[in-house]
A and B are shown apart, each in its own frame.
Chain A
């Protein structure tokens, strides 16, 4: 796997050689920070009205801040990850640098995994930035640390699945915009797919819900790590990476 790491290292650095990494990280953290700030305000309001009324369920930090915050992180990732993954292969093909990789004694799978790891490292770095919010909650409240941990596991899995899908689309084209648009479309569809479950029969209801990225994320946001959900995301990662591998490898058949 050393080749993959070597490729990932270059790829990761190249994010920082252009403004991409800085802009993406800044935009992400700004949005999350703004959302966190507003969630805090909302929570304060709920606590005050609870104190006055003394009725209904007691508002908790976990329910009113952590769960919605990670839901929001998920949404922002949906928008941002296509911009991170779009260049991975599209740029290599456009700039003819794919020739360097494919004529080196390195298997195409290592190349694909290397690309995945580079994008994943960047997104993980972004997510690491949100620990500022989490640490605030841990020090200032009695937040359920189990739920917080579950949320992090969930968001890291979701990010991996998004990146794998973006990786696949980037391998399909040499146009970065096309790659980003296709990635965004696929991800959004995986969000909305459960809508069909409302008016579907028993079998299809089950299928559509199981296919949904959101349905599988919900239990993480409640602090439950369910193998079913973990497997769902790992399957998406596998499909994306394998799809990118076969597409990239197929270029050697000379269609590029």
Chain B
């Protein structure tokens, strides 16, 4: 339903997002998790057609967000970080305007408005001026605007930010309900929100995808394991078959798994083309840092060690940051 390839957005020399690739199936509820400034909003703005990417493509149901902008926009409902509401309008007038803007035919419009108001719990305030409503209600008006034309895809940028706990629960219930018949991509910096709402999660930080998994898969990764990624160059003295590296590392005390990985998006470009490069994934128990032993052992076996990096730490770091920010979630962000 959504297909994103090598998406990059640059502001001057700064990359807001850098080479994102992912896809979302029809009916999926995908969570975009990351700290403030990670590039979540930028990605969503591009998907919604509000800004264009610097390079790369994004397609909604096959329509490119830039080349077939109007066709792509017709398929989405978008709730930006700040609900795009006209403060001086009444709720009904505003939803009516949004419906017309999305070409809901005039004979079906009344029904569509009632549907959106009802689903977002706005029937009681429908004739009030939006500027006089509380923040939670404005957020709901923003959501009603996004669903009034019943679009197949919903893009929700931090839908629960700034709401009180009761409102958060209500909005989450609503999103879960909408998830039954819509493809939804939502961003958040709250880990638990992803857990209750999403079928799959993409962790993004500093404009790059750090992890992409189902909730249970992600949880398993976060469990007590250390993961180390090793890039080696095979030289003459080391055996070129897969087994020699596995043998030399696998015998180390504490190593549970040694696995060759075929290709990796994170592999540096100049290494991709070289034939003698091997990429390995080593898992060990939490208790012991294996890196220095892995390094010694691989060099002793005659491999040139090009990179040795603990993977899960960076992911955990991301989560620690997330949790820190969770407490300061009311702070406004760029």
Residues of A within 8 A of B (CB): 3, 6-7, 10, 14, 17-18, 95-107, 251-254, 256
In the complex, besides A104-B98, A105-B70, A254-B9, 7 extra interface pairs with C-beta distance below 8 angstroms are A97-B86, A100-B84, A103-B48, A252-B49, A252-B52, A253-B51, A254-B54
B98 cross-chain contacts in A, Cβ below 8 A: 100, 104
Q: Closest 7 interchain pairs by CB?
A: A100-B84, A105-B74, A254-B51, A104-B101, A105-B73, A17-B88, A103-B48
Give A210 Cβ to nearest chain B Cβ, in Å.
38
Give A253 Cβ to nearest chain B Cβ, in Å.
6
The answer to whether B82 and A96 have CB atoms under 8 Å apart is yes
Q: Which of A18, A105, A252 has the most CB of B within 10 A?
A: A105
Q: Is B50 in the interface zone, CB < 8 Å from A?
A: yes
The answer to whether A102 and B101 have CB atoms under 8 Å apart is no
A96 cross-chain contacts in B, Cβ below 8 A: 80, 82-84
Q: Is B196 in the interface zone, CB < 8 Å from A?
A: no
B10 nearest in chain A by CB position: A254
- The CA-CA distance from A7 to B103 in the complex, in Å, is 12
The answer to whether B50 and A102 have CB atoms under 8 Å apart is yes
B74 nearest in chain A by CB position: A105
Give A230 Cβ to nearest chain B Cβ, in Å.
34
The answer to whether A14 and B88 have CB atoms under 8 Å apart is yes
A3 cross-chain contacts in B, Cβ below 8 A: 101
Residues of B within 8 A of A (CB): 9, 11, 45, 48-52, 54, 70-71, 73-74, 76, 78, 80, 82-89, 97-98, 100-103, 145
A18 cross-chain contacts in B, Cβ below 8 A: 88
B11 cross-chain contacts in A, Cβ below 8 A: 254
The answer to whether A14 and B86 have CB atoms under 8 Å apart is yes
Known: A95-B87, A252-B50. A104 touches B102 (CB 8 A): yes
- The count of A-to-B residue pairs whose CB atoms sit within 8 angstroms is 72
Give A50 Cβ to nearest chain B Cβ, in Å.
54
- The CA-CA distance from A107 to B70 in the complex, in Å, is 7
Known: A97-B85, A99-B84. A105 touches B52 (CB 8 A): no
The answer to whether A103 and B73 have CB atoms under 8 Å apart is yes
Q: Would you give 16 A-B contacts (Cβ < 8 Å), ordered by A?
A: A6-B101, A7-B101, A17-B89, A95-B84, A95-B86, A97-B84, A99-B48, A99-B84, A100-B98, A102-B49, A103-B78, A104-B73, A105-B102, A251-B51, A252-B52, A253-B52
B51 cross-chain contacts in A, Cβ below 8 A: 251-254, 256
Give A100 Cβ to nearest chain B Cβ, in Å.
4
B102 cross-chain contacts in A, Cβ below 8 A: 104-105
The answer to whether B73 and A99 have CB atoms under 8 Å apart is no
- The CA-CA distance from A105 to B74 in the complex, in Å, is 5
Known: A6-B100, A17-B89, A104-B101. A99 touches B52 (CB 8 A): no
Give A89 Cβ to nearest chain B Cβ, in Å.
14
Q: Which of A7, A18, A96, A256 has the most CB of B within 10 A?
A: A96
- The CA-CA distance from A256 to B22 in the complex, in Å, is 26
The answer to whether A106 and B101 have CB atoms under 8 Å apart is yes
B81 nearest in chain A by CB position: A96
A104 cross-chain contacts in B, Cβ below 8 A: 73, 98, 101-102
A96 nearest in chain B by CB position: B82
A100 cross-chain contacts in B, Cβ below 8 A: 84, 98, 101, 145
- The CA-CA distance from A201 to B103 in the complex, in Å, is 56
- The CA-CA distance from A102 to B87 in the complex, in Å, is 18
- The CA-CA distance from A99 to B102 in the complex, in Å, is 13
- The CA-CA distance from A256 to B145 in the complex, in Å, is 22
- The CA-CA distance from A10 to B90 in the complex, in Å, is 12
Give B64 Cβ to nearest chain A Cβ, in Å.
14
- The CA-CA distance from A6 to B99 in the complex, in Å, is 11
B78 nearest in chain A by CB position: A103
- The CA-CA distance from A174 to B50 in the complex, in Å, is 17
Give A91 Cβ to nearest chain B Cβ, in Å.
9
- The CA-CA distance from A251 to B45 in the complex, in Å, is 12
A105 cross-chain contacts in B, Cβ below 8 A: 70-71, 73-74, 102-103
- The CA-CA distance from A3 to B45 in the complex, in Å, is 22
A10 cross-chain contacts in B, Cβ below 8 A: 86, 89, 97
The answer to whether B88 and A103 have CB atoms under 8 Å apart is no
The answer to whether B76 and A103 have CB atoms under 8 Å apart is yes
Give B95 Cβ to nearest chain A Cβ, in Å.
11
The contact of B49 among A7, A17, A97, A103, by CB within 8 Å, is A103
The answer to whether A14 and B89 have CB atoms under 8 Å apart is yes
- The CA-CA distance from A105 to B99 in the complex, in Å, is 11
B100 cross-chain contacts in A, Cβ below 8 A: 6
Give B88 Cβ to nearest chain A Cβ, in Å.
4
B78 cross-chain contacts in A, Cβ below 8 A: 99, 103
- The CA-CA distance from A8 to B70 in the complex, in Å, is 20
Give B307 Cβ to nearest chain A Cβ, in Å.
33
Give A33 Cβ to nearest chain B Cβ, in Å.
29
